[in-house]
Structure formats: C-alpha cells, structure tokens
Structure 1
Amino acid sequence: MSTIRGYLKKHTEALVKDVGIEPACELTGKSKATLGRYYSDHDEHADRFMPIDAVAALEEAASYPHVTAALAELKGISLSFDGTRRNADDKGGVNADVIALSQRFAILMAEYQQSIEDGVITVNEAKRLLRETTQLQQVLIDMKLHLEDEAT
C-alpha cells in the first residue's frame, strides 16, 4: 500500500475513533463493517476510501478534522480552525497559551522518553505520541488565533 494511502487510512481511523464507532455509523448511515473497510490496510480494501460527505459529517462531530488535516499536510498546507477548544475562550489569551504550550510540550517529551526507553517505539507508543503532538498543535492554533486577535 502506498504511503499516501496508508496515511489517509490511519487518519480515517483516527476520525472514526474520535467520534466513536456507533455514533459514526449513525452520522454516516454506514455499518461498522463498512467504516472498518475505509481504514483497513488489507490489500482487498486498498482502494476503498470514505466518501467526502461522510468525512464532513464525522469531522463536524469530531474534536479535530483528522482527514482534512491529513490532506492538507500531504499538500504542504497548514490549517487553522476555530472550533471550540479547551483554551479558545479563556481570558488569559496568549499568556495562558504559553503556559498550555509548555505543559503540552512537557507531556510530549515525557511520552517520548518513556517510549524510547527500550530503544523501540511500538505502535501504541507512536499513537500516544501522535495524540500528544495533535494536542500540542491545537494549543499552537489557539495561540495563533489569540495573537491574530491582538494584532487587529
């Protein structure tokens, strides 16, 4: 399977799991088996991807636009979105973002240290690192939005 296909399938899986399998079935009108095929890495499902309307419905319910972000990253584009997030409405602005940024970075480094102790990063460890990296990215987006607000 090509790198791009695998990358998109992993992000499709992250999207479905973010929403939850049962709610994802309800939102898309697809069965669990069908949703599973969209992110399966088996050769028989290599060319099967989730329809864009299903992606849009799931991303509306998800905490992060996993597939849209993956497509943007593949094209070298960075996105910012303004959905309600943990520190989007706080009154601390950039100062609170700097604190959140340093906390998230510390968590990421702790996860990394724990992951490389045995010299091998397992799939589960990589998923935890990816989750923390995504959280760090969301804090940076919040910070960017606060800075843009202050600049206007």
Structure 2
Amino acid sequence: MYGLGIKHMSVVDSYLKKHSEALVKDVGIEAACELTGKSKATLGRYYSSHDEHADRFMPIDAVAALEEAASYPHVTAALAELKGNSLSHDNRRRNSADKGGVNSDVIALSQRFAMLMGEYNQSIEDGIITMNEAKRLLRETVALQQVLVDMKLHLEEESV
C-alpha cells in the first residue's frame, strides 16, 4: 500500500479529528462556518476519516474562534490529554463581565490570595491537612490561578 500514496490515519490523528468534529457540532455547523470563514465542506474535511483528508487538520485560529463560542474546549482538551495533562474547565466566560482591567485584577488577586491564606490557616490549625481541606485549598488555588490568567490577558491587551 505504501506505493499507492494512501495514508492511513494514526490513532492520534483520529482522536484529534473526533474532537474537531465535537467542537464543530458543539457550536453548530452554520455558526462554525460564520466564525471561521470556512465552508461546511472545508470544516467537514478537517474531521473526515477518509484517507484523502487524513493530513487535513483545523487551523489553530479556527480552533480558537470555535472554542471561544463552544461550551467546552474540545480540541485543546484533546491536545492536553495526548500529552498526559488535564485542563481545569472554568464555566465562567473570561473577561465577559469583567472589563475592569489590571486594577480590578489586582484587587481580585489580593482577595483570592487572602481567601487562600484563610483557608490554609483553618486547614493547618490541627497540624493535619485532611482530604476535604486539601480539596478546598486546591479550589482556592485554581481560582487564584484564574485571576492571574485574567490579569495576564489584560496586561497583554494593554501592552499592544
């Protein structure tokens, strides 16, 4: 078969194509076309399992546009999983209600850090951090991390 120019998809390629399809279906084909500027046929080729489309993948700018509109970052999560990582999915929409910029981020950062330290102080009082306390600390740490991500995005916006 090698001489015929037929390329069979690897397991990784197939996995990415399935998640690309899930992303398009999450957003809806019509909306996906509008968001990416691609036709239905072009989007279909990105997740087609046919050999003639085995080497076609959705461009990263199209993935970003669709994941902004989607309920879940399907392709990004798939890429993370392939590398043995996982994502912490936050249902709130980044920067949608918060237009305060860096000053608001600094205030939110200090508040979240204070909450983390308060939670830590309570957890360590008896000298032992229980499983439930560790989970609460983890939640506060993830919330703090999200504030830092928001702050980074605001700083990048202001530096342009």
TM-score (norm 1): 0.57
Question: Which one of the candidate residues 12, 28, 31 is aligned to 1:23?
Answer: 31
The DSSP-based 3-state class of the residue aligned with 1:78 is: coil
The answer to whether residue 46 in structure 2 is matched with residue 46 in structure 1 is no
Q: Specify the code of the residue in structure 2 equivalent to 1:76.
A: G
CA deviation after TM superposition for structure 1 residue 16, in Å: 0.1
- Which residue pairs with 2:4 in the alignment? none
Aligned residue-pair number: 94
User: Paired residue for 1:148, among 136, 139, 143?
Assistant: 139
Task: State the Cα distance separating 1:150 from its structure 2 match.
Answer: 8.8
- 1:2 is aligned to 10
Which of structure 1's runs of 4+ aligned residues deviate more than 4 A?
144-147
Q: CA RMSD in A?
A: 2.3
Cα displacement string for residues 102-130 of structure 1 (whole angstroms, at most 9, x for unaligned residues): xxxxxxxxxxxxxxxxxxxxxxxxxxxxx
State how 1:1-152 maps to structure 2 within 5 Å: 1-84=9-92, 148-149=139-140
Unaligned segments of structure 2, at least 5 residues: 1-8, 94-134, 145-160
Tell me, in whole angstroms, the C-alpha distance in 2 between the residues paired with 1:148 and 1:60: 23
1:123 maps to which residue?
A: none
Q: Distance in 1 between matches of 2:141 and 2:48?
A: 44
Structure that is richer in helix per residue: 1
Q: Give structure 1 stretches of 5+ with no counterpart.
A: 86-143
